Chains A and B, each alone.
Chain A
Amino acid sequence: MGMLFLCVVFMSYSLSINNLFFTWSKHSDFRLRIPNWQVRTGEKVFLYGRSGEGKSTLLNLISGIENRYTGNIQVLGQDMATLSQRQKDTFRANNIGIIFQQFNLLPYLSAEQNILLAQRFKSIKQSSQLEQLASICERLELNSHLLKQKAAQLSVGQQQRVAVARALYGSPALIIADEPTSALDTQTREQFIQLLLDSAQSSTVLFVSHDMSLASHFDQQLGLAELQQQESVTDVA
């Protein structure tokens, strides 16, 4: 409880970015520049961006997968630059749930094994996980028959639900979703987002998409272009 209390006090921001600059190489045209951006704990943020604008790169930077940047990124109060690659991996396993666009699951494992896989890499093994798993699966309408099936045999919609279950399992403080709905039809898409947001509860959700029509489900809507333009504002200030 004490731990949780501290978290609430010190981590009023789940994500805090200052003067971030990233480029692939000196000769690359691509540049990602975010002067200043904060996401409050528990907030559900929709980040809009066109293809190639750098959405995935930004998510890679936040989750500690891409390291070649200048500036400051703090995730859950932790300065990512101070962590070694190993520590980043553990940090990610412990604190971040990730949902991809498609291919989220290992096709040769059952749905249940896929969900439990996330536990495998955590440094902190929580108890009473099985109860949590049962409740998540119930919320996501994943019945025991479905859980026993190989991921490859599931429909895309079912796969996405399993992916959400895995991202939620172990209650990570931050959930990152990278265009998770692009493979779904409109109706399923709405259901999926509602499901994700309802299940995420107290977790912070960072949802990245190029589809503006989904924005209304979220507390906050942002454009990546908008974030980058703040540069001039900061410069002036």
Chain B
Amino acid sequence: MLLKLVLASLWSRRIMAILTCTSIAISMLVLIGVEHLRAEVKNNFERTVSGVDLIVGSRTSGINLLLFSVFKIGNPSNNIQWETYQDIATRPQVEWSVPLAMGDSHHGFSVIGTTGDYFDYFKYADKQPISFKQGEAFNRLYEVVLGADVAKKLGYSLEQSLVMSHGTGKVSFTHHDDHPFAVVGILNPTGTPADQSLYIPLQSIDILHQTQDIHDESLSEVPLGAKYQPQLSAFLLGSNSKIAVLGLQREINQYKQEPLSAILPVLALRELWQIVGAVEISLRVISWLILATSLICMTTMLLASMKERERELAVLRALGAKAHIIILLIGAEALMLTLLGAVAGYILVTVGLLLGQPLLEQHFALYISPYVNVDAVGRFFLIAAGAAVLLSFIPAILAYKKSLLKGLKQ
């Protein structure tokens, strides 16, 4: 009966109720959306690189090195000589190493020259190795492996022939037309920037920039270090001992022959996230403020409606409705509006994510799950509901006091 009363009363003021609900829904949308994006971006961020002990590049800041080697953002300040790489990679602390050479692109996607070891040692998320969806790693000079997004967006399949461009821009005027590459492998999606790259043999990077005619030879026939000694942008190192890593890092940072930087990816990621973190906090503060605003708006709405409901409540009081019933009526109304708005906000976020996810993936290389963390949403719901009930006491108590006297005076 009481619930019926609340519903009927709300329905009689439905325009106001719908507007209030909408404002709560929008603030919930912002709150849940921001929280979800934050969690997802952080998650995306942290899963970009794993199982790599050191990233080495020419002397530069740790963040820059991380950005260009892992996120494919920006450029290396200088190249590393082949001899230097050889010197470091052969040290006893080093278990494995993967050289990386960047600088070419294909339709805006970066082209990375590396060795077959890349597919074995580069890991993401929780030390998950990258795997092939189709085909296998390159074996010949003019072969290329595609990241999942590259294959998907450009619609490439195995055995297709591609031409690389010089430079990393989307539009390039120099194409390496003389050396078309054949697709031999396509990687499974990882949800990291690794999906946005093409991988070619390190030897081929050198060939691309030479004019002479070179045949498509098997990689084993043209080993690195002999005829080909390419300059590198960076290289990844793995060590068998965690303690050795720190010593190795110091050695590399103090390398005499060439100025180098070595970073621990985990620490660099954290450092980078701290920069993003300030934005994160302000976004969170803003979304909480928005929720507070719409809850206060709802209280104002309830207070305003008290004027027109004075008689209504007076009737209830005259019929013998106790104080708690009046307070319950108004509290229930506030709670209902808030929860309805919150659920609507949640649905909006989910629908929005389902619709917007492909766009985010396409434009920002962000893989955002459309399924919001239920724990966080539950927490928001509880907080909003609690605040709504507490705030509803203001109009409820006022209404109770007024309905005692005003109503019957008429």
B-binding residues in A (CB < 8 A): 56-57, 59-60, 63, 65-66, 85-86, 89-94, 96, 98, 100-109, 113, 117-118, 120-122, 166, 178
Known: A56-B409, A94-B320, A108-B12. 12 other contacts (CB 8 A): A57-B409, A60-B409, A63-B408, A93-B321, A96-B320, A100-B318, A100-B410, A105-B315, A106-B315, A118-B320, A121-B319, A178-B408
Q: Is A66 within 8 A of B9, CB to CB?
A: no
Does B317 belong to the interface (CB within 8 Å)?
yes
Known: A100-B410, A103-B315, A108-B11. A60 touches B405 (CB 8 A): yes
8 tightest Cβ-Cβ pairs between the two chains A and B:
A93-B320, A108-B12, A121-B320, A92-B320, A89-B322, A98-B318, A108-B8, A103-B311
Q: What is the 8 Å Cβ interface bit string for chain B, positions 292-325, against chain A (1 contact, 0 not)? A: 0000000000000000000110111111111101
Q: From residue B248, how far is it (CB to closest CB) to chain A in Å?
A: 77
State A109–B11 Cα separation when bound (angstroms). Answer: 11
A-B contact pairs, 14 of them (CB 8 A): A56-B408, A90-B322, A100-B318, A105-B315, A106-B315, A108-B11, A108-B12, A113-B8, A120-B1, A121-B321, A121-B322, A121-B325, A122-B320, A178-B408
State A63–B8 Cα separation when bound (angstroms). Answer: 27
State A118–B408 Cα separation when bound (angstroms). Answer: 16
Q: From residue A178, how far is it (CB to closest CB) to chain B in Å?
A: 7
Known: A60-B408, A66-B405, A121-B325. A106 touches B312 (CB 8 A): yes
Q: Which residues of A contact B322 (CB under 8 A)?
A: 86, 89-90, 121
Q: Which residues of B contact A103 (CB under 8 A)?
A: 311, 315, 410
Q: From residue B129, how far is it (CB to closest CB) to chain A in Å?
A: 65
Q: Is B8 within 8 A of A109, CB to CB?
A: yes
Q: Which residues of A contact B11 (CB under 8 A)?
A: 108
Q: Is B318 within 8 A of A92, CB to CB?
A: yes
State A106–B317 Cα separation when bound (angstroms). Answer: 12
Chain B residues touching A, majority SS: helix
Known: A104-B315, A105-B315, A108-B8. A65 touches B320 (CB 8 A): no
State A16–B374 Cα separation when bound (angstroms). Answer: 63
Q: Which residues of A contact B325 (CB under 8 A)?
A: 121
Q: Which residues of A contact B316 (CB under 8 A)?
A: 106, 117, 121
Q: Which residues of B contact A113 (CB under 8 A)?
A: 4, 8
Residue from B317, B320, B408 with most neighbouring chain A CB atoms (10 Å): B320
Residue from B11, B404, B407, B409 with most neighbouring chain A CB atoms (10 Å): B409
State A56–B409 Cα separation when bound (angstroms). Answer: 5
State A77–B409 Cα separation when bound (angstroms). Answer: 25
State A121–B323 Cα separation when bound (angstroms). Answer: 11
Q: Which residues of B contact A86 (CB under 8 A)?
A: 322-323
Q: From residue B329, how far is it (CB to closest CB) to chain A in Å?
A: 11
Write the chain B residue with the least CB distance to A152: B12
Q: Which residues of A contact B317 (CB under 8 A)?
A: 65, 89
State A134–B376 Cα separation when bound (angstroms). Answer: 54
Q: Is A93 within 8 A of B311, CB to CB?
A: no
Q: Which residues of A contact B12 (CB under 8 A)?
A: 107-108
Q: Which residues of A contact B1 (CB under 8 A)?
A: 117, 120
State A65–B410 Cα separation when bound (angstroms). Answer: 14
Contact of B318 among A63, A66, A85 (CB under 8 A): A63
State A113–B8 Cα separation when bound (angstroms). Answer: 11
Contact of A85 among B312, B323, B408 (CB under 8 A): B323
Does B243 belong to the interface (CB within 8 Å)?
no
Q: Is A59 within 8 A of B410, CB to CB?
A: no
Residue from A109, A113, A120, A178 with most neighbouring chain B CB atoms (10 Å): A120
State A109–B10 Cα separation when bound (angstroms). Answer: 11
Q: What is the 8 Å Cβ interface bit string for chain B, positions 138-172, against chain A (1 contact, 0 not)? A: 00000000000000000000000000000000000
State A108–B12 Cα separation when bound (angstroms). Answer: 6
Does B275 belong to the interface (CB within 8 Å)?
no
Q: Is A106 within 8 A of B9, CB to CB?
A: yes
Q: Is A59 within 8 A of B319, CB to CB?
A: no
Known: A90-B320, A92-B320. A108 touches B404 (CB 8 A): no
Q: From residue B384, how far is it (CB to closest CB) to chain A in Å?
A: 27
Q: Which residues of A contact B5 (CB under 8 A)?
A: 106, 109, 117
Q: From residue A162, how far is it (CB to closest CB) to chain B in Å?
A: 12
State A56–B5 Cα separation when bound (angstroms). Answer: 27
Q: Which residues of B contact A60 (CB under 8 A)?
A: 405, 408-409
Q: Is A93 within 8 A of B8, CB to CB?
A: no
Contact of A101 among B4, B319, B410 (CB under 8 A): B410
State A101–B312 Cα separation when bound (angstroms). Answer: 14
Contact of A89 among B4, B323, B407 (CB under 8 A): B323
Q: Which residues of B contact A104 (CB under 8 A)?
A: 315
State A186–B96 Cα separation when bound (angstroms). Answer: 105
Write the chain A residue with the least CB distance to B321: A121
State A58–B196 Cα separation when bound (angstroms). Answer: 83
Q: From residue B290, how far is it (CB to closest CB) to chain A in Å?
A: 32
Known: A56-B409, A100-B408, A103-B311. A108 touches B9 (CB 8 A): yes
Q: Is B319 within 8 A of A117, CB to CB?
A: yes
Write the chain B residue with the least CB distance to A116: B1
Q: Which of B319-362 contact A (CB under 8 A)?
A: 319-323, 325
Q: What is the 8 Å Cβ interface bit string for chain B, positions 69-93, against chain A (1 contact, 0 not)? A: 0000000000000000000000000
Q: Which residues of B contact A92 (CB under 8 A)?
A: 318-320
State A109–B314 Cα separation when bound (angstroms). Answer: 15
